[in-house]
């Protein structure tokens, strides 16, 4: 598989250093609220990446942490008058439920930052011994950026800027997320402050808590060793987070940290940035309330290439619904041609071990994935092949093979077949689907009179609507 490397700024073939398992680390969610669909663009793409690797016969070890101590989790747990643990555990549970709904394979390891404070303290001690860290007058411990020669190598920072900043004490920042391009010594250990409340731990430098960047370095080392195959996150993490991780880890170990860097470009909403104040920060639950499914969101999130910004709109969700239905109908036609009576329904495969598969049909779509994880091209190729397949000319065993390969390519993308709105071979007329869709939207908007009127109209036309948790089903009236 080939993937663009942020550090080398070129496409590179991926290899497992130990020849056995491809070991990679993804920065996980900060659990202080529900993850939004932007976060999930990153997590879904990392998931497709892992599926494609596994389908090519490569074993993987996937580590994704839980950021359960940082400036934001502490601030918001205190505002909610809850202990940090109680607060972050509840959001972790919610995050895992969303991941499951979105058909994300569970990481092999999911370390919590709070559970690894001793490893973080040990890493700082090592950096102190090697002259890369110092305790400042504010009692916090900082990484001395000028002591690490290749600082800035990932984000390709201007060297002049580097020399200007980072002199001991003067340009030190304690914030986890500081301004882009502000090259400064960053906090490894933050001395206890009143606003931290009960959230502090002992250390050789006094009570305090770890800096966010340090947490990931320590967890990478604990689960993957000094060097591992790939590190990933959204593009906002390139600087300062990943730059700082490299500095801490390589200054301590003297070895290359991650051999490959994979960054996912941000998701935009309605052409702009997502933000709470603009009211356009969607979560999975927000979309489900509007009658969409997690499978449809997953489709939208992979419909753009990870190296380009992707613009999310509600219309793109409606288009995904239709596209998935087209796939499901094509699957159904193949199944019928193969002489099978089963329904092409989605299994929502969440097995941790997807095995190697050789494609006969949909091979070109799979190749798009092997070539820089080109998910939109893969989707395009699935549709072209479905259009070109002359199902009624296939022999039963060919139809069965095409059906099986269609399932495999969807497995690579992590998509499920939606329920085809058909009962006993009855096709739902477009007018009926339209009315049913309007009724569902009215129901979501709590316009009860309108929704009831549409239900009656459907009944008059011979169709009954049955509502489920995430959507509805249409059945012809007997
Ligand atoms: P956080 O929970 O903020 O630590 O972020 C979790 C992951 O989501 C990180 O890899 C971020 O880079 C990524 N992320 C945050 N916002 C977006 C966005 N709008 N689009 C894509 N990825 C994002
Ligand atoms: Zn991280």
Each of the 478 residues of the chain gets a pLDDT tens digit; together they read: 999 999 999 999 999 999 999 999 999 999 999 999 999 999 999 999 999 999 999 999 999 999 999 999 999 999 999 999 999 999 999 999 999 999 999 999 999 999 999 999 999 999 999 999 999 999 999 999 999 999 999 998 765 455 544 443 346 777 787 665 557 899 999 999 999 999 999 999 999 999 999 999 999 999 999 999 999 999 999 999 999 999 999 999 999 999 999 999 999 998 898 887 788 899 999 999 999 999 999 999 999 999 999 999 999 999 999 999 999 999 999 999 998 877 666 554 445 466 788 899 999 999 999 999 999 999 999 999 999 999 999 999 999 999 999 999 999 999 998 876 544 456 777 788 889 889 988 988 889 999 999 999 988 888 888 887 667 888 877 6
Which ligand 1 atom minimizes the distance to the CA of 273? 19
Ligand 1 contact via 67 beta carbon (within 6 Å) = yes
* Residue spans of alpha helices (H) in 102-205: 117-129, 159-164
| Cβ-based neighbours of 425, under 8 Å, separated by 6 or more | none
Query: 369-378 burial string, b = 16+ CB within 10 Å, else e?
Result: bbebbbbebb
Q: What is the pLDDT of residue 246?
A: 98
Q: What is the pLDDT of residue 179?
A: 60
Picking from 72, 196, 185, 70, the residue whose alpha carbon sits closest to that of residue 137 is: 185
Which ligand 1 atom minimizes the distance to the CA of 267? 20
Distances (CA, A) of 334 to 7, 331, 337, 394, 397: 45, 5, 5, 9, 10
Residue 135 pairs in a beta bridge with 141
Strands 267-269 and 310-312 turn out to be parallel
Which ligand 1 atom minimizes the distance to the CA of 232? 10
Nearest residue by C-alpha to atom 18 in ligand 1:
38
> To test the ligand 1 pocket, which listed residue (26, 40, 42, 91) has its Cβ within 8 A of the most ligand atoms?
42
Q: What's the pTM value of the predicted model, to 2 decimals?
A: 0.86
pLDDT tens-digit map of 354-384 = 678 889 999 999 999 999 999 999 999 999 9
Residue 312 pairs in a beta bridge with 269
Q: Which ligand is nearest to the CA of 42?
A: 1
Which of the 8 DSSP states describes residue 470? S
Ligand 1 contact via 293 beta carbon (within 6 Å) = no
CA of residue 471 to ligand 2 center, whole Å: 36
Which of the 8 DSSP states describes residue 50? H
Q: Are 346 and 418 in contact (CB under 8 A)?
A: yes
Q: What is the pLDDT of residue 88?
A: 98
The CA distance from 196 to 307, in Å, is: 38
Ligand 1 contact via 65 beta carbon (within 6 Å) = no
Nearest residue by C-alpha to atom 12 in ligand 1:
234
Q: What is the pLDDT of residue 171?
A: 66
CA of residue 241 to ligand 2 center, whole Å: 6
CA of residue 40 to ligand 1 center, whole Å: 8
Query: 306-326 burial string, b = 16+ CB within 10 Å, else e?
Result: beeebebeeebbbebbebbbe
Locate 201 and state its tokens. 């731990």
pLDDT tens-digit map of 273-328 = 888 778 889 999 999 999 999 999 999 999 999 999 999 999 999 999 999 999 99
Ligand 1 contact via 60 beta carbon (within 6 Å) = no
Ligand 1 contact via 332 beta carbon (within 6 Å) = no
Which ligand 1 atom minimizes the distance to the CA of 28? 6
Which ligand 1 atom minimizes the distance to the CA of 234? 12
Q: What is the pLDDT of residue 478?
A: 62
Q: What is the pLDDT of residue 175?
A: 79
Give DSSP secondary structure letters for 253-319: HSS-SBS-EEEEPPEEETTB---TTTT----HHHHHHTT--HHHHHHHHTSS-TTS-EEE-HHHHHH
Q: Are 432 and 342 in contact (CB under 8 A)?
A: no
Give the start-to-end residue ranges of the domains of the chain: 2-264, 422-478
CA of residue 70 to ligand 2 center, whole Å: 12
Q: What is the pLDDT of residue 279?
A: 81
> To test the ligand 1 pocket, which listed residue (31, 38, 76, 213) has its Cβ within 8 A of the most ligand atoms?
38
CA of residue 464 to ligand 2 center, whole Å: 50
Q: Are 39 and 77 in contact (CB under 8 A)?
A: no
Nearest residue by C-alpha to atom 7 in ligand 1:
39
Q: Which ligand is nearest to the CA of 301?
A: 1
Ligand 1 contact via 240 beta carbon (within 6 Å) = no
Q: Which ligand is nearest to the CA of 246?
A: 2
Which ligand 1 atom minimizes the distance to the CA of 35? 2
Q: Provide CATH code, domain 2-264.
A: 3.40.50.620
Q: What is the pLDDT of residue 376?
A: 98
């Amino acid at each position: 598989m080939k993937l663009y490397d942020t550090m080398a700024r070129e496409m590179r073939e991926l290899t497992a250093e130990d020849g056995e398992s491809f070991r990679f680390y993804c920065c996980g969610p900060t659990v202080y609220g529900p993850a939004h669909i932007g976060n999930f663009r990153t997590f879904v793409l990392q998931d497709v990446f892992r599926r494609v690797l596994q389908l090519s016969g490569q074993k993987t070890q996937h580590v994704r942490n839980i950021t359960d101590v940082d400036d934001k989790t502490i601030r918001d747990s205190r505002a909610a008058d809850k202990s940090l643990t109680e607060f972050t555990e509840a959001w972790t549970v919610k995050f895992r439920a969303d991941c499951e709904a979105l058909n994300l394979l569970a990481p092999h390891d999911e370390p919590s930052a709070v559970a690894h404070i001793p490893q973080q303290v040990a890493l700082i001690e090592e950096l102190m011994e090697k002259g890369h860290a110092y305790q400042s007058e504010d009692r916090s411990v900082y990484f001395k950026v000028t002591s690490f020669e290749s600082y800035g190598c990932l984000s390709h920072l201007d060297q002049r800027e580097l020399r200007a900043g980072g002199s001991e004490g003067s340009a030190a920042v304690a914030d986890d997320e500081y301004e882009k391009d502000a090259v400064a010594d960053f906090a490894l250990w933050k001395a206890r402050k009143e606003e931290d409340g009960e959230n502090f731990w002992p250390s050789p430098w006094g009570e305090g808590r770890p800096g966010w960047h340090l947490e990931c370095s320590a967890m990478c080392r604990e689960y993957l060793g000094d060097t591992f195959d790939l590190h990933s996150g959204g593009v906002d993490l390139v600087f300062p987070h990943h730059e700082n991780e490299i500095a801490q880890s390589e200054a301590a170990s003297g070895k290359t940290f991650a051999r490959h860097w994979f960054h996912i470009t941000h998701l935009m909403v309605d052409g702009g940035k997502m933000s709470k104040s603009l009211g356009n920060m969607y979560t999975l639950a927000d979309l489900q309330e509007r009658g969409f499914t997690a499978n449809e969101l997953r489709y939208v999130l992979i419909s753009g290439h990870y190296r380009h910004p992707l613009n999310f709109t509600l219309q793109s969700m409606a288009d995904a619904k239709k596209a998935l239905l087209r796939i499901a109908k094509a699957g159904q036609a193949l199944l019928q041609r193969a002489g099978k009576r089963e329904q092409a329904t989605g299994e929502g495969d969440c097995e941790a071990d997807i095995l190697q598969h050789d494609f006969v049909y949909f091979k070109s779509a799979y190749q798009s994935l092997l070539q820089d994880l080109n998910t939109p091209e893969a989707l395009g190729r699935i549709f072209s092949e479905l259009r070109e397949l002359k199902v009624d000319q296939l022999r039963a065993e060919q139809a069965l093979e095409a059906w099986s390969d269609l399932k495999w390519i969807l497995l690579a993308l992590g998509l499920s077949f939606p329920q085809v709105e058909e009962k006993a071979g009855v096709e739902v007329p477009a007018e009926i689907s339209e009315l049913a869709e309007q009724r569902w939207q009215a129901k979501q908007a709590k316009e009860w009179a309108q929704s009831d009127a549409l239900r009656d109209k459907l009944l008059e036309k011979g169709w009954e609507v049955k509502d489920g948790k995430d959507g509805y089903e249409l059945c012809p009236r007997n």
